[in-house]
């Protein structure tokens, strides 16, 4: 194990940084919409089940890999799964980097709309659809705000783990909760808001029997908690020796689910409170993430007293939520550079430059952005199954023993059963998304933005590249290769 003395200052610090990673724009603009569209109460049950079955075991696997190896995705896979499987860590790292490129653009949009709201640019009567389309069609604007978002994230990562990452999240995470509570209380003070609450909490046993409820719930759990991205593996590098894995995994999962619920309780009543009619509220919820946020909500806010202020607060919450998640992706990239010998500062600068350059295509083309969101969002399911492969290869009981050695709670056999279910969940959800992609294209084999062949080509292409890079990167990692890392465990020996 390499000597890495950088550690989070406390358990609270670690949890706040982890929650900042998990709580992103998707919790604010996707969860409430998907929840409302899938029988509210039924979805809330399915989402919690999906979080515990898929996300919690993945968080535990990621944490034990990061905490024991003190290496990023590439090195952790090399030491845990064997040198020839380093490519999986590289694949996961690239997948999260690809998300980072367009996520910075999203963060930039939220910053732009916060500045618009704060400066009074969102006035009653403004055609927000035209405003949004004009903004997207102005490259100097979209690139400028992408660079601002990347620059802020890069600067925080440059400052280091405790002085940058931890301090930023200690401010950001409580601020998000307070802002959401403020928006929620304000929306609930409006008479029509309670229709939104009815939408959110309507009980539906029939909804629990619908396949769509579960497919959307597992997809949301895979995207929302941030499990299987390699992000928690990276953060676990900086856990203290006495920091727990078992209870913390549940805390992060429940905190993400709870804050998603809080976001839904702020956004859904808000839509009903500020929509001119129930039809307008339904149209807003039927639109996509960006349509709901930057067209409908942007139009509704200024139409009522105090709306401008709360509009600005809402977009500020969205911007800092996205920023906290972006930080974790930049940290993942930075850590992999550090592992091959870059200094922290040099790694942060290189990661930021890469982010700025490769984010530009998404800043220039909304279609490219949306396509990348689909390709790498679904790609995260592949990342998740790669982590499950490592657990399976190490032996489920063996890896569970390792987790229990570092846990304040006992992780029982249920962990094994959940990981055994992963292939079934993967095939079902992954296959469903490919089928969705086919329904959005003229046919499976047409190279269009959302077609299955476009997605498959990018995943397989990345697979070939990472296989070619396998040995080169595995040998470049400075920390010694511990071939016997897991074999010793099987013989009952000590790993450290």
Partner 1 sequence: MSSLAIVTMIFMFVIYFGGFFYFATRPNPKKKG
Q: How far apart are CA 383 and CA 79, in angstroms?
A: 17
263 sits near partner 1 (criterion: CB under 8 A) = no
Give the tokens for residue 274. Answer: 């500020």
Q: Which of these ranges, 109-117, 224-232, 239-247, 321-329, lies near partner 1 under the rule CB under 8 A? A: 239-247
Site for partner 1 in 50-79 (CB under 8 A): none
Site for partner 1 in 305-334 (CB under 8 A): none
Helical ranges in 365-413 per DSSP H? 366-394, 396-405
Nearer of residues 188 and 467 to partner 1, judged by Cβ: 188
Least distance to partner 1 from the beta carbon of 52, Å?
A: 9
* Sole residue written with tokens 């809080």: 262
DSSP letters of 181-224? HHHHHHHHTSTTHHHHHHHHH---HHHHT-HHHHHHHHHHHHHH
Alpha-carbon Rg for the chain, nearest whole angstrom, is 22
- Greatest distance between any 2 Cα atoms in the chain: 72
Q: How far apart are CA 449 and CA 401, in angstroms?
A: 44
Q: How far apart are CA 32 and CA 27, in angstroms?
A: 7
Q: How far is CA 354 from the centre of its chain?
A: 20
Q: Which of 48, 182, 465, 467 binds partner 1 (CB under 8 A)?
A: 48
Residue (of 305, 235, 209, 311) closest to 65 by Cα position: 235
Count of C-beta atoms within a 10 Å radius of residue 116:
21
Q: How far is CA 11 from the centre of its chain?
A: 21
Least distance to partner 1 from the beta carbon of 50, Å?
A: 14
Least distance to partner 1 from the beta carbon of 438, Å?
A: 35
Nearer of residues 242 and 279 to partner 1, judged by Cβ: 242
Q: How far apart are CA 51 and CA 49, in angstroms?
A: 5
Q: Which of 62, 166, 244, 331 binds partner 1 (CB under 8 A)?
A: 244
| Cβ partners under 8 Å of residue 264, min gap 6 | 31, 32, 35, 36, 200
Q: Which of 3, 125, 140, 242 binds partner 1 (CB under 8 A)?
A: 242
Q: Which of 46, 183, 261, 270 binds partner 1 (CB under 8 A)?
A: 261
Q: Which of these ranges, 256-264, 328-336, 394-402, 459-467, lies near partner 1 under the rule CB under 8 A? A: 256-264
Nearer of residues 256 and 373 to partner 1, judged by Cβ: 256
Q: Which of these ranges, 147-155, 179-187, 245-253, 378-386, lies near partner 1 under the rule CB under 8 A? A: 245-253
Least distance to partner 1 from the beta carbon of 12, Å?
A: 10
The residue count of the chain comes to 496
Q: Which of 144, 167, 192, 251 binds partner 1 (CB under 8 A)?
A: 251
188 to 217: interface string for partner 1, x by CB under 8 A: ------x--xx-xxxx--------------
Can you give the binding site for partner 1, defined by CB under 8 A? Answer: 15, 40-41, 44, 48, 194, 197-198, 200-203, 242, 244, 247-248, 250-251, 254-255, 257-258, 261, 408-409
């Amino acid at each position: 194990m390499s000597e890495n003395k950088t550690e989070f200052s406390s358990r609270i610090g670690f949890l706040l940084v982890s929650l900042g990673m998990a709580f992103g724009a998707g919790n604010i603009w996707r969860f409430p919409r998907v929840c409302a569209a899938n029988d509210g109460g039924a979805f809330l049950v399915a989402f919690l089940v999906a979080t515990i079955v898929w996300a919690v075991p993945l968080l535990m696997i990621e944490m034990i890999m990061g905490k024991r190896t003190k290496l990023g995705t590439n090195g952790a896979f090399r030491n845990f799964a064997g040198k020839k499987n380093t490519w999986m860590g590289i694949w996961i790292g690239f997948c999260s980097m690809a998300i980072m490129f367009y996520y910075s653009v999203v963060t930039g949009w939220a910053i732009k709309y916060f500045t618009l709201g704060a400066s009074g640019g969102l006035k009653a009567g403004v055609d927000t659809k035209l405003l949004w389309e004009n903004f997207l069609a102005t490259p100097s604007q979209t690139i400028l705000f992408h660079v601002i978002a990347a620059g802020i994230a890069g600067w925080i990562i440059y400052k280091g783990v405790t002085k940058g990452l931890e301090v930023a999240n200690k401010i950001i995470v409580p601020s998000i909760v307070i802002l959401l509570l403020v928006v929620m209380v304000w929306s609930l003070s409006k008479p029509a808001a309670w229709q939104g609450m009815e939408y959110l909490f309507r009980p539906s046993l029939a909804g629990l029997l619908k396949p769509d409820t579960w497919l959307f719930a597992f997809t949301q759990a895979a995207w929302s908690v941030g499990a299987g991205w390699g992000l928690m593996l990276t953060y676990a590098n900086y856990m203290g020796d006495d920091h727990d894995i078992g209870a913390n995994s549940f805390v992060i999962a429940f905190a993400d689910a709870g804050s998603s619920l809080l976001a839904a309780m702020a956004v859904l009543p808000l839509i009903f409170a500020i929509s001119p009619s129930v039809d307008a509220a339904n149209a807003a919820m039927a639109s996509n993430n960006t349509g709901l946020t930057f067209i409908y909500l942007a139009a509704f806010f200024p139409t009522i007293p105090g709306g401008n202020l709360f509009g600005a607060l809402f977009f500020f919450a969205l911007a800092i939520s996205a920023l906290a998640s972006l930080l974790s992706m930049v940290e993942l990239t930075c850590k992999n550079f550090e592992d091959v010998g870059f200094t922290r500062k040099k790694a942060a600068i290189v990661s930021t430059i890469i982010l700025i350059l490769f984010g530009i295509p998404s800043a220039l083309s909304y279609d490219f952005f949306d396509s990348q969101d689909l390709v790498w969002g679904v790609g995260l399911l592949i990342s998740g199954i790669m982590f499950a492969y490592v657990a399976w290869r190490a032996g489920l009981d063996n890896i569970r023993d390792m987790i229990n050695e570092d846990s304040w709670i006992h992780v029982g056999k249920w962990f094994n059963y959940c990981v055994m279910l992963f292939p079934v969940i993967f095939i079902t959800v992954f296959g469903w998304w490919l089928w969705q992609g086919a329904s959005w294209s003229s046919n499976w084999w047409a190279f269009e933005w959302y077609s299955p062949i476009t997605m498959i080509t990018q995943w397989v292409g990345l697979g070939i590249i990472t296989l070619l890079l396998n040995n080169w990167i595995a040998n470049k990692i400075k920390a010694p290769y511990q071939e016997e890392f897991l074999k010793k465990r099987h013989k009952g020996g000590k790993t450290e």
